[in-house]
Amino acid sequence: MTTPPDRPRRGVSLYSFQEEYFLRTMSVEDCVAAAAAMGATGIEIIPEQSIPGYPVVTDEFAERWHGWMAAYGTTPVATNAFLDTKLHADRWLTLDEQVASVRRDIDIAVRLGAGIVKATINFSPEVMAAAAPYAEDRGVRLLLEVHAPFHFSHPWILEHLEVMHRAGPHVLGLMPDMGVHVRRFPRVVSERALRDGANPALVDYIVRTYDDHGDTHALMDIVNYRGGGPVEFGLARQATHYIWTEPKEMLEHLPFIGHVQAKFYEMTDEGYEYSIPYDEIVPVLAGGGFTGYLSSEYEGNRHIQDAFPVDSVEQVRRQQEMLARLLGE
């Protein structure tokens, strides 16, 4: 009998290696092997991205997938589901069609041996409620990603919480993305804007406004009045999509939190994340009794690929080393 963990565990979303996977310098197996080599045993996969022939999971792929899990000592933890509500150009998917799509994604998770399906933020409370009985029958938890600029007090999340409390945390829950804890504006993003020709004074103003917890929603007007162009407008808009919330806000909802997206943009040479204070986040989760997976999700590649080689494996390795240290491993 396996002893239940007494602290959070470490995992990796294969999304982290999207740069190398897209360029075909890493295969799905390579991604699993890289995670395992870092001691990150929980594997999160995006079927739409990583499974040839999706939404069909062939016997061949399923056999290889389970073979990799056995060979590398890893565990399939979560899959990601995307609800394509605009599949048809002339109409929105009906509720029944949306639920059918979710059921298909639940079946894929079961086929891969994962007990969690991440629901993206466009899943409505009605869809979650309608899909809950099927998820329960299949032994899967359907977790809504709480992704910036959404937060636990957002009206949309509050509607979902009502449904979750009715269904129970064993069926429906939350998957907070640590992008809701961005204390400092990501440096890789502002530096990319400068390389793209942004006015340094406006970039500095945007960054300082965010870092000082100023009114980011006023930035686009100010950028306009100060003669900013498309790059500056894009950066100002981006500032409204980062948020800072206190990590302790997760504690109230901990029974419903089944998985954590350990988002990061830049692991520095000194071994910390430039924008997100994991030294505050991890103790909150560990102290609150969270025993699910902290799943690395690297998103810095898109901000540096214009000028620098992308080494997602090294970035994830640094984050995993930091997480292991904070977890006392």
pLDDT 10s digits, 265-300? 999 999 999 999 999 999 999 999 999 999 999 999
**How far is the C-alpha of 253 from the C-alpha of 5, rounded, in Å?**
20
Global model pTM greater than 0.85 = yes
How confident is the model over 128-181, as pLDDT tens digits? 999 999 999 999 999 999 999 999 999 999 999 999 999 999 999 999 999 999
Beta-carbon contacts of residue 200 (< 8 Å; ≥ 6 apart): 194
**How far is the C-alpha of 164 from the C-alpha of 256, rounded, in Å?**
8
**CB 150 within 8 Å of CB 240:** no
Residue located via tokens 């064993």: 170
Residue type, 178: M
Mean pLDDT across 229-251: 97
pLDDT of residue 1: 39
Is residue 134 classed exposed, middle or buried when 0-12, 13-18 and 19+ CB atoms within 10 A define those classes?
middle
**How far is the C-alpha of 75 from the C-alpha of 200, rounded, in Å?**
46
pLDDT of residue 6: 87
The neighbouring-strand residues paired with 118 are 80, 143
